Amino acid sequence: MKRIARMATHVPVLTRAFDLSEGDVLEIGTGYFSTTLLDWLCAISGRKLVSYETDLRWYEKAKRMQSDYHDIIFVENWDTIPLDEKHWGLAFIDHSPHTRRSVDIKRLKDKAEYIVAHDTEPRSEKLYGYPDIYSLFKYRFDYKKVEPWTSVLSNFHTLTKFKA
């Protein structure tokens, strides 16, 4: 699979999670596919989207989508993001450094209805620290049709409405 296509393997799962969720949407780490998709979905549904980014190049690309319903925020340190100060309907995790993903998923475990994490296939999951957080969740769904895999985690919903 071409590299650019590998960057979009989360799109079917992210779209389904958006459709099943309600409330504000969180994106940690921006990208061509996730930021554009979530921006469009939030625009037509009237939901709030907050995107955080530490890489200035990605921030500059994403900030063009800034609007009344979409906040795009540059941060120098992921620890400064107030992730756990509110409840999120959906959180998408796809940022770097890789080891940071499990840290932020832990912070969101009881604050997000659905957490969608990219790059969860066995070859990559240890790099991202995912095995350390799986046991924190009641429910897990792995989308394995294309690599890299995408997983959904929740302590609120059974995830039976996702299909492998």
Task: Please tell me whether the overall predicted TM-score, pTM, comes out greater than 0.75 for this model.
Answer: yes
The string of pLDDT tens digits covering residues 57-115 is 999 999 999 999 999 999 999 999 999 899 999 999 999 998 999 999 999 999 999 99
What is the reported pLDDT for 163?
85
Return d(Cα 12, Cα 25) in angstroms, integer: 16
For position 3, what pLDDT does the model report?
57
Quick: pLDDT tens for 25-65: 999 999 999 999 999 999 999 999 999 999 999 999 999 99
> In 3-state terms, the chain is what percent helix, strand and coil (to 5)?
40, 25, 35
pLDDT of res. 8:
80
Q: Are strands 139-143 and 150-154 parallel, antiparallel or unpaired?
A: antiparallel
**What are the φ/ψ torsions at residue 138 (nearest 5 degrees)?**
-75, -35
pLDDT exceeds cutoff 60 at 2: no
Structure tokens at 153: 């985690």
DSSP assignment, residue 85?
G
Rounded Cα distance between 66 and 135, Å, is 36
